[in-house]
Structure 1
Amino acid sequence: MTQASGKAERVREEKIRCDACPVMCYIGEGKIGACDRYANHGGEIVRCDPLTVLDRTMAYGGEVRPFLGRDWHDGLSTEDLFVTAVGAGTTYPDYKPAPFLASREVDGVDFVTVVTEAIFSYCSVKVKIDTDRHLGREGAVIRHQGEAVGLMITSEYGSQMMSLGGVDHLTGGSKAEGRVTCDVLLRLLNREAVTLTVEDGAEVVVQAGKAPIVDGLREERMRVGCGSATIGMFASQWHGLVDEVVVVDDHITGVVSEHQAGKVLGWPDTGIRIKGRRSTPGRYFQVAEPGRGWGGTDIEDPLSILGPWLAKKGAREGLTLLMVSTTGEHAAYYELDAQLVPQERPMPARLKPSVALIAQNCEPALCTVMFMGGAGGSLRSGVTRNPVKLTEAVQAGRAEVTVGGAKSYVWPGGGITLMADVMQTPIGAFGMVPTPAIVAPLEFTVSKQEYEALGGHTEAVRDVIDILQSGGFYAWDSQVIFPQKRKQ
């Protein structure tokens, strides 16, 4: 209390400004910034996650080891170590060198690895979902918590594809859309499960490296091939055991008696007629609408795709018919009656092994999550004083780009547009800032000679062992000091 007023004075909390991202938080003593990645400890900004190094022999999914003043690296040569950008921090905007420029010798050659946690607004997640079931039409909007976060894109062989995120969803819509989109991306990138709803389609639980769950049902396997391919693979298994086989598929439904594979085996005509658009002999398009029934169609009764049988083309009483899906999940056996109408009968023991063989040849259904981003802008200035030279070196293959130690695919053409499989990155490697944007670990590795030619920040290069022993601008043991950190 003051003597003059007799009232208690409020002491203003001293805050310091964090410059790790465009939000520029003012953080009080003992508090954490909006990103959960930086904090104020004793009047200094510290990093809340451990800097991460990979044993070179165990990279790409191998053991992840935090370091700072530890003795576990004693006896290891620098060839065994790969410094990732996980936990490195950022120097955004990168008018100054990246947080760490680590030198090491590999196979007698000096290399420099420049690491930084890059801030991406121009980024997305590409999701491959192994399923024969129809999730939604191409171009359909995908939502989470009611907000649009992406769209369905072109189907690929045995898989449905999604594109999630992107700058338009992160920053081009409402605040809620950007916040939800960023949350979805972050959780998927860190291998967490996310429930997505496709407009006029399915509800799908997606998690990297796990089987998709479609409308509450866990997928077990992806299809062995389209209906035509299945005929080609297994026609010889059915020859002499059944008179006709139809493999139901949303893309190409196959009919063995008409198919070239059947003709090679001398398969006789059966008088079968298929509804749909005939492509080449034994191959039919559009036999039904896409769906979550037989072979990715909307049908529950496979006989609905058949027209009247023709006696003059070989149909007869007692003719046997096997109908099966491309995963072997659905299968039924029929015999024609006197009116040439198929009547379902129990599956004969002689045909069960062929249906099981289809299932055995199907691969497990998984979700694949790929990080995709454009590594341009000022982050290149943290590597070199002449940013375009880094782009040129990457495109020419003289500089390797990794994401948390995971190899990336760099698209040809201008810029540094890259993709990486999150299953090859350490768990928890990605973060976010509330602009909103994704924070991704990025490493550029070049020979020392090449780095000098790029106009790199050679004065900031340090030996990897020195970094291991003494750290850098930010401290990394603050997860002990700040147990209230919200995200793990």
Structure 2
Amino acid sequence: MPDDAIRCDACPVLCYIKPGRTGSCDRYGNQDGQLVRLDPHVMLERAQSRGESLVPFLEKSREWDGTLINDSETFVTAIGAGTTYPDYKPAPFIISSEVAGVDMVTVVTEGIFSYCGVKLKVDTDRHLGAECSTVRAQGEPVGHVTTGEYGSQMLSLGGVRHLTGGSRHEGTATCDTLLNLCNGNPVELEIENGAKVVVQANKAPVVDGVQEERMRVGCGSATIGMFAKQWFGKVDEVVVVDDHITGVLSEHQAGKLLGIPETGIKMKGRRSTPGRYFKVAEPGTSWGGTNISDPLSILAAFDPKAARPGLRLLMVSTTGEQYAYFELDEALGPTEKELPDSLRESVSRIKENCEPALCTVLFMGGAGGSLRAGVTENPVKLTHSVRDALTRVTCGGAPVYVWPGGGITIMVDVSRMPENAFGYVPTPALVAPIEFTLKLDDYAKLGGYMDHVRPLSAIHRDDEGRRRVTSRPDNPWPLGKTSA
């Protein structure tokens, strides 16, 4: 080891860092022989009005100006606070404050998460890939396609197996993918025997080079139910094409109640209940998430007992992006015609009721040894306190969902956190901010590190390297009321 290098003990890698250089994670550096956290430590200021802009946190950020701190209006986040390693060391910051006459304490640390990943919701009507298909980034497997949801395809990325159980390249690619997604950067993913998709938190997905505009209004059956009255009297038959549940107006209960007569239409696929058909085509990126370009390909010959020449047929997708209008000729074959003005409004109404397509990135991680032991000498008590709602858990001040059952497994929408809240260590693992807030009395009962508690007022005396950021007005204030 060079004489002027110092050893970083912030994570298991234990880098030796020369003066003016950074460690492998780029989070810590050697500054004049001192180990320093390079990113600023973020403090949240409570938004004064819900009418404030929701645009980027850091547009409203500013350097610390030395003004006195209002305990109830300032929250110390874990972003830039530093990590706790080895596990037995107390968290970097254990801050007391008075809120509405109650003494509170917030324990903050940047947790090193090996057991973590991303649940990615992609709003699209297009088929991305079969369930359980491998998802790759940089050519490496980083996750899989999981159960689809209403109007969205779901991907599960990361997890300890991809981070640690594969090749070194797989672990690095997985960590890099998670880091970029959690920090709001775009990532290109390739799905086995499926699509290439570019995803970014709170942005529209790009599927095979085409930017998605809207998610579906509903399945084919639901679309029939919603718009049946608007089609009544203007068209004889409507088919809403859908990869999952294709709807047929004349057979559907909505059509029956309106008194729409049989049209003799015959559908391919498997009939479920009246007016609802499964598997009319294979999954794809065209009409209603199917692989068809010609909607007539899902129809069989019309029944001459009920069909008649001139019968009017509208076929439309679940987003209204694809539509076609037909009239039956003398041989009862559909002939495409221009869409009548009387039907244009209903097609536009379908589009209007489709919400913008977005990608939602949820970070999911399990709080293990270093996080819990940094709060109390008896870590299981913290788990019980969280379970009993005595302790509030936040990530960068943003609300989290704590999964039921054992342990502290959390999930948070990264778009509700300040920018660039995540880091990494090259073990590889993700570094994420986590805060535990509870009453000071409860913290003492927890076996907390009371001798390490510092008042919030002490923060302004050591203001170098800190930054104040305005909280999102749509986030609950983390120092709000907790359970008694």
TM-score category by the smaller chain? over 0.9
Q: Which runs of 5+ in 1 are unaligned?
A: 1-10, 479-488
| Cα offset, 1:43, TM superposition | 1.1
Q: Which residue of 1 aligns with 2:372?
A: 380
- Letter of the structure 1 residue corresponding to residue 201 of structure 2: A
Aligned to 2:162, the other structure's residue is in SS state helix
| Cα offset, 1:396, TM superposition | 1.3
Q: Which residue of 2 aligns with 1:323?
A: 315
| Cα offset, 1:97, TM superposition | 1.0
Q: Which runs of 5+ in 2 are unaligned?
A: 468-484
Q: 2:24 aligns with which of 34, 37, 56?
A: 34
Q: Which residue of 1 aligns with 2:457?
A: 465
Equivalent residues in 2 for 1:316-395 (5 A)?
Answer: 316-395=308-387
Q: Say whether residues 1:218 and 2:207 are aligned partners.
A: no
Count of aligned positions: 462
Can you list the C-alpha shifts for 1:196-217, whole angstroms capped at 9, x where unaligned?
Answer: 0000000000000000000000
| Cα offset, 1:72, TM superposition | 5.4
Q: Which residue of 2 aligns with 1:82?
A: 75
Q: Say whether residues 1:417 and 2:409 are aligned partners.
A: yes
Alignment check: 8 A CA contact 1:252 1:283 kept: yes
Return the alpha-carbon distance in structure 2 between the equivalents of residues 57 and 189 of structure 1: 23
Aligned to 2:176, the other structure's residue is in SS state helix
Return the alpha-carbon distance in structure 2 between the equivalents of residues 212 and 258 of structure 1: 35
Label 1:462 to 1:61 Cα distance change in 2 as closer, same or farther (>3 A).
farther
TM-score by length of 2: 0.93
Q: Which residue of 2 aligns with 1:302?
A: 295
Return the alpha-carbon distance in structure 2 between the equivalents of residues 61 and 102 of structure 1: 29
Aligned to 2:24, the other structure's residue is in SS state coil
Q: Which residue of 2 aligns with 1:481?
A: none
Q: Which residue of 1 aligns with 2:182?
A: 189
Alignment check: 8 A CA contact 1:48 1:477 kept: no
Alignment check: 8 A CA contact 2:402 2:411 kept: yes
Q: Say whether residues 1:430 and 2:422 are aligned partners.
A: yes
| Cα offset, 1:379, TM superposition | 1.8
| Cα offset, 1:401, TM superposition | 0.6
Alignment check: 8 A CA contact 1:67 1:468 kept: no
Q: Which residue of 2 aligns with 1:16?
A: 6
Q: Which residue of 2 aligns with 1:443?
A: 435
Q: Which residue of 2 aligns with 1:52?
A: 42
Return the alpha-carbon distance in structure 2 between the equivalents of residues 35 and 351 of structure 1: 59
| Cα offset, 1:476, TM superposition | 3.0
Aligned to 1:154, the other structure's residue is in SS state coil
Aligned to 1:57, the other structure's residue is in SS state coil
- Letter of the structure 2 residue corresponding to residue 253 of structure 1: T
Aligned to 2:108, the other structure's residue is in SS state strand
Return the alpha-carbon distance in structure 1 between the equivalents of residues 224 and 172 of structure 2: 48
| Cα offset, 1:63, TM superposition | 3.8
Q: Which residue of 2 aligns with 1:166?
A: 159
Return the alpha-carbon distance in structure 1 between the equivalents of residues 383 and 44 of structure 2: 25
Return the alpha-carbon distance in structure 1 between the equivalents of residues 203 and 56 of structure 2: 19
Q: Which residue of 2 aligns with 1:476?
A: 465
Alignment check: 8 A CA contact 1:92 1:379 kept: no
Alignment check: 8 A CA contact 1:53 1:84 kept: yes
Can you list the C-alpha shifts for 1:120-152, whole angstroms capped at 9, x where unaligned?
Answer: 010000100000000000000011111101100
Q: 1:71 aligns with which of 28, 48, 65?
A: 65
Q: Which residue of 2 aligns with 1:269?
A: 262
| Cα offset, 1:438, TM superposition | 0.2
Q: Which residue of 1 aligns with 2:93?
A: 100
Label 1:465 to 1:53 Cα distance change in 2 as closer, same or farther (>3 A).
same
Q: Which residue of 2 aligns with 1:484?
A: none
Can you list the C-alpha shifts for 1:336-378, whole angstroms capped at 9, x where unaligned?
Answer: 0111110100111110000000000000000000000001123
Alignment check: 8 A CA contact 2:42 2:466 kept: no
Alignment check: 8 A CA contact 2:266 2:299 kept: yes
Q: Which residue of 1 aligns with 2:124?
A: 131
Q: 2:235 aligns with which of 236, 242, 250?
A: 242
Return the alpha-carbon distance in structure 2 between the equivalents of residues 72 and 261 of structure 1: 66
| Cα offset, 1:416, TM superposition | 0.3
Alignment check: 8 A CA contact 1:61 1:426 kept: no
- Letter of the structure 2 residue corresponding to residue 17 of structure 1: R
